Amino acid sequence: MFTFINTLILSALFAALIPLLIHLFNRQRTKRVPFSSIRFLKLLEKQRLKKLRLYQILLILLRTLLIIFLVLAFARPTFTETTATSDGSARTTAVIVVDNGVNMNRYDDNGLRFARALKACREVLRSYTAQDQVFIIPATEPQAVLTDTLKLLKLRAGQRTANWPAVLDTINRLFKKHVNYNNELIVISDFEINDRHRSVFESMASLSSEQVRTYFVETIAGNYFNIAVDSIYMANRLVETNTPLSLRVRLRSEVVETQNVDIHLFVNGSRQSHRRISLSGLSSETVEMTFVPGQPGWKSGYVEIPDDDFLPDNRRYFAFTMPDVRRILFVGRNNSVYLEAALEALQSAPGLDIKSETYASFQRLNFDDFQVICLSDPPTLSAALSNRLVRFMRNGGGVVLFPGEYTSPVQLNQFLKSAGLNFRIGELVAAEKEDGFFTLKDINFQHPLFRGIFRRENPQIETPGFYRYFKVLNTKATQRDLVLLNNDPLLVSSNMTDKRLYLLTSFPTPLWNELPFKGLFIPLLTRMITMAASGQFLLIAPGMPGEKYIFRFPGTVPEQAFSLTVNATQSIPLQPEVKADHFQFSILPSTAGLYTLASTNRTEAVIPVNIDNRYLQNPHIDKKQLRAHPGKPVWINDVELEPVQLQEARFGKELWKLFVFLAVLCLIFEIFVVKKMEGRNQQ
């Protein structure tokens, strides 16, 4: 459709009547003069006047078109395929979204992408006037809308991810609050963002309608070299002092060619391990880094690779604690005498603090005071209690289950489902004969459950018999730590690194098995509890830049000073927030690093904060699909972005040159017609 940028100039089209008016006012009236017979002369004169009148009409038409074309040229006509209307003289509400997320820290052949985004933003701002309402939204902090363009100079691309859903909410709010004839949305980004945000950009494209015109300004991606440290997780299921501990580091290559990569592991400020690998192009590989943790306490550090064109993903932080004492909560009933006796024997072991409670009283306790909760023959678990246990596991706690006579498989399965675990408890299986029993398969003494317990590598031990047990369904979703001879599992555990749960399918009592009377019982129970407690050792990447994290501590505030140290350099005093049954500290990290909360006497907690690599990984938003969106958003290349290009994208293809050309043609034809008329008059 056709539109005009300078619509006020169109009023000058009335000037097209001037040639006609001049012609009408200059017409001479005929005078009668007596003369002799001129019959033949009149015939000739009539023919000449007829041609002259035709030339006059043509001359009036050419002069009228000349004025029309000149006026239209000054009105700057445009042609666009979209239905969006525009008025260059009307006030405009402009919302400019500048992507300052972690993805904009990339360097490529065209330079730093965020610097190019700022340059594109300045070019866009030049196209507005003082009467326009312009709002700039930083994508990582959409609530901090900028109206002062000078503050654009302070905008930086950090290590946070853009909050696109909140960006969309802010866009809608601004357009509803500031209504003008022209409404424009400009989004400046490299659009190399994970596809899970596609719906937000589709919603932005849908705004391109009669009310809002959407422009996507893309910082074109050039060639760049990048290898990323994607994740770190602990390989050991059992963490003990002075025992080698392995961290599995996943590397990802965004380079086509194979590269040699040096990997460095730093723990508590010193380098503990180094490896050099050959990483194939456009692939991922997991590398194992080993070190000896030494004495109990907090262990924190990072894995680092050499610098490349994208620095934020070259280092990944981790932290875990090895407490001096593992606090265990045992909850049982009257039939748990054998478990209680075994735990009393463990109470004297160094590093274990075991507290026994009944099901009637244990819910009043603060679960965060413990590393492991053991539930013996658990009854019906309410939804509230299940949620508390799930939250306890997500915070690093371990749960050990001993289902027995009073356990309802249906109720227990509801808890397993709420915890996000895929295996389920089935029917109770009993030996067919009265004196029959099930036996264990050959025990793997290299399994973490048994490694280091016995002096010999393959000791000869008397295995217990089992009379009944709960069948486990969907065992592919579990670790089968101990298996019976009929291939049914006796001990299963979760294979999820963020949820530590162990389940013994046969309740330790003489009615179910011979386990309480065999030498395997106490070592097995010890290792189950120790491995369940290892979940709290691992606090890898619980936070990301821009996400709030809360340190919670039970009880009242001690008379001590607290401080927060970032990467062992910057120390900030902290004041606790006092709650009814605990006190807490809230932090909002802005960059990746190690955030250490310390009291006067000791380190209370270390939180590793890492960038969100999922935000950067493939699949990215499909730009071709977004370009083909029915809303027809306008795509502009930042490398070629100029005010003229932006103007054409905003109002369409300008046609003023065409109308100037037509005006020149009219002028040339007018000169030709005038010369013809003068020649006729001379004849």
Q: 446-460 pLDDT, tens per residue?
A: 777 777 666 676 777
Residue 539 pLDDT > 50, yes or no?
Answer: no
> Averaged over 500-512, what is the pLDDT?
93
Supply the pLDDT for residue 375.
95
Residue 364 CA to residue 383 CA, distance in Å, equals: 16
Say if residue 415 is exposed, middle or buried (CB neighbours under 10 Å; 0-12, 13-18, 19+): buried
Q: How many Å is the maximal CA-CA distance in the chain?
A: 156
Helices (H) and strands (E) counted in the chain, each on its own, are 12, 33
Extract long-range pairs of 664-672: CB within 8 Å, 24+ residues apart.
666/62, 666/63, 666/65, 666/66, 666/69, 667/66, 669/62, 670/59, 670/62, 670/63, 670/66
CA-closest candidate to residue 328, choices 497, 525, 523:
525
> Averaged over 639-659, what is the pLDDT?
69
pLDDT grade, residue 652 (50/70/90)?
low
Supply the pLDDT for residue 469.
96
CA-closest candidate to residue 437, choices 392, 467, 482:
467
| 77-79 sheet: strands from edge to edge | 2-4, 77-79, 653-654
pLDDT grade, residue 503 (50/70/90)?
very high
Percent of the chain with pLDDT over 90: 40
* CA distances for 139 relative to 127, 164, 502, 548, 591, angstroms: 22, 7, 43, 18, 16
Supply the pLDDT for residue 262.
97
Enter the tokens of residue 232.
């770190």
> Averaged over 318-331, what is the pLDDT?
86
pLDDT grade, residue 683 (50/70/90)?
low
pLDDT grade, residue 511 (50/70/90)?
very high
pLDDT grade, residue 313 (50/70/90)?
very high
Q: Which residue has the tokens 């709650």?
A: 579
Supply the pLDDT for residue 330.
94
> Averaged over 215-225, what is the pLDDT?
89
Supply the pLDDT for residue 84.
47
As a 3-state breakdown, the chain gives helix, strand, coil percent values, each rounded to 5, of 30, 30, 40
Residues in CB range of 218: below 8 A, 6 or more apart: 189, 190, 191, 623, 635, 636, 637, 638
Top-confidence residue, 507 or 644: 507
pLDDT grade, residue 266 (50/70/90)?
very high
Supply the pLDDT for residue 457.
67
> Averaged over 90-106, what is the pLDDT?
93
* CA distances for 515 relative to 76, 281, 523, angstroms: 92, 53, 11
> Averaged over 325-352, what is the pLDDT?
85
| Most confident of the ranges 260-274, 313-327, 394-408, 555-569 | 260-274
Supply the pLDDT for residue 650.
61
pLDDT grade, residue 312 (50/70/90)?
very high
Coil, strand, or helix at residue 485? Answer: coil
Residue 531 CA to residue 138 CA, distance in Å, equals: 45
Threshold 0.85, pTM exceeds: no
Residue 342 pLDDT > 70, yes or no?
Answer: yes
Percent of the chain with pLDDT over 70: 87
Residue 412 CA to residue 426 CA, distance in Å, equals: 10
pLDDT grade, residue 194 (50/70/90)?
confident
Supply the pLDDT for residue 283.
94
Supply the pLDDT for residue 557.
86
Residue 540 pLDDT > 50, yes or no?
Answer: no
> Averaged over 383-393, what is the pLDDT?
89
Average pLDDT, the chain: 85
Residue 591 pLDDT > 70, yes or no?
Answer: yes
| Most confident of the ranges 169-178, 237-246, 665-674 | 169-178
Coil, strand, or helix at residue 313? Answer: helix
> Averaged over 467-485, what is the pLDDT?
87
Evaluate whether 218 touches 635 at the Cβ level (below 8 Å): yes
Supply the pLDDT for residue 541.
45
Amino acid identity for residue 519 in this structure: G
